[in-house]
Amino acid sequence: MLSIAAAMAIVGASLGAIAVSKGIPLWMITLMGAVIFAGGSEFMAVGLMTAGAAPITAVVGGLLLNARHLPFGLAIGDLFARGPLTRLVGSHLMVDESVAFALAQEDPAEKRRAYWLTGIALYCTWTPSIFVGGLLGQQVGDPDVFGLDAALPAALLALIVPSLRDLPTLRAVAVGALVAVVTTPILPQGLPVMAALVGVAAALPLPRGREGEEKS
């Protein structure tokens, strides 16, 4: 968790530096970090806005990119208390890392603890790092130069590896990964992740005949 938070701090600082260097006010990019709290959408919004795209384009793109949070909510919604305030805060902390850490646990109490600790730690890291990066300007640079853009996906992959022992999950991951790789050169940024959701269909139960053949 701490290693992911450290990587996110550097990526957040890079976002702040890149945004400010392209003319986005420091207060605006910092506010985006606090209110949106979705790194991929924020990077995409900065790219679109600085390229002259209409604001509605950035909004629609962010909604499409973050549509994966719908199945996230279905998977971990029972970890939230029934109070509306707790559900609101818990939903805001719903990022890939907090969901992955929660699903990696077996005990319901540990799932809840992992979710809240990860979400709070990353939230408290993300917005301040954007602000600091914006102050530093271009000195932080692009995270791709250091390979830091791969740190978060690598950590998520390590978290889901134990789940790959389950055959339906393995089928879903394999199909989703294949679809994402094939569509990346074709679709705009963010949409290959959405297209990969078709892999969920591969987790559906197979007809009994084929399921018996796979087990044998």
Which is more confidently placed, 188 or 140?
A: 188
Per-residue pLDDT tens over the stretch 11-53: 888 888 888 887 888 899 999 999 988 887 888 788 777 777 7
Q: In this structure, are 73 and 138 located in the same domain?
A: yes
CB 95 within 8 A of CB 86: no
The pTM of this model reads 0.66
Which is more confidently placed, 195 or 127?
A: 127
Q: Is residue 139 part of a domain?
A: yes
pLDDT of 150 over the 90 cut: no
Q: Is residue 206 part of a domain?
A: yes
Per-residue pLDDT tens over the stretch 61-77: 778 778 778 888 888 88
Q: In this structure, are 145 and 171 located in the same domain?
A: no
User: Which residue, of 124, 149, 174, is where some domain finishes?
Assistant: 149
Q: Is residue 155 part of a domain?
A: no
pLDDT of 213 over the 60 cut: no
Range of the domain at 202: 166-216
Q: Is residue 52 part of a domain?
A: yes
What per-residue confidence (pLDDT) applies to 127?
92
Q: In this structure, are 204 and 135 located in the same domain?
A: no
Q: In this structure, are 63 and 116 located in the same domain?
A: yes
Q: In this structure, are 128 and 188 located in the same domain?
A: no
Q: In this structure, are 45 and 123 located in the same domain?
A: yes
What per-residue confidence (pLDDT) applies to 190?
61
Check residue 94 and give left, alpha or beta (phi > 0: left; psi -120 to 50: alpha): beta
User: How many domains are contained in the chain?
Assistant: 2
Q: Is residue 160 part of a domain?
A: no
pLDDT of 216 over the 60 cut: no
| From 95-99, 105-109, 136-140, 212-216, the region with the lowest mean pLDDT | 212-216
167-to-70, 104, 164 alpha-carbon distances in Å: 24, 17, 7
Closest CA to 139 of 6, 16, 3: 16
What per-residue confidence (pLDDT) applies to 75?
82
What per-residue confidence (pLDDT) applies to 143?
54
Q: In this structure, are 89 and 177 located in the same domain?
A: no
Q: In this structure, are 209 and 126 located in the same domain?
A: no
Tell me, rounded to whole angstroms, the distance of Cα 138 from its chain centroid.
Answer: 25
Q: Rounded to an integer, what distance in angstroms lies between the CA atom of residue 42 and that of residue 40? A: 5
Q: In this structure, are 24 and 108 located in the same domain?
A: yes
Per-residue pLDDT tens over the stretch 170-203: 888 899 899 989 998 887 766 787 788 788 788 7
Q: Rounded to an integer, what distance in angstroms lies between the CA atom of residue 172 and that of residue 166? A: 10
Q: In this structure, are 145 and 176 located in the same domain?
A: no
Count other C-beta atoms under 10 Å from residue 154's C-beta: 12
Sequence letter at residue 6: A
Q: Rounded to an integer, what distance in angstroms lies between the CA atom of residue 168 and that of residue 174? A: 10
Q: Is residue 216 part of a domain?
A: yes
Q: Is residue 156 part of a domain?
A: no
Count other C-beta atoms under 10 Å from residue 65's C-beta: 21
Q: Is residue 10 part of a domain?
A: yes
Q: In this structure, are 93 and 23 located in the same domain?
A: yes
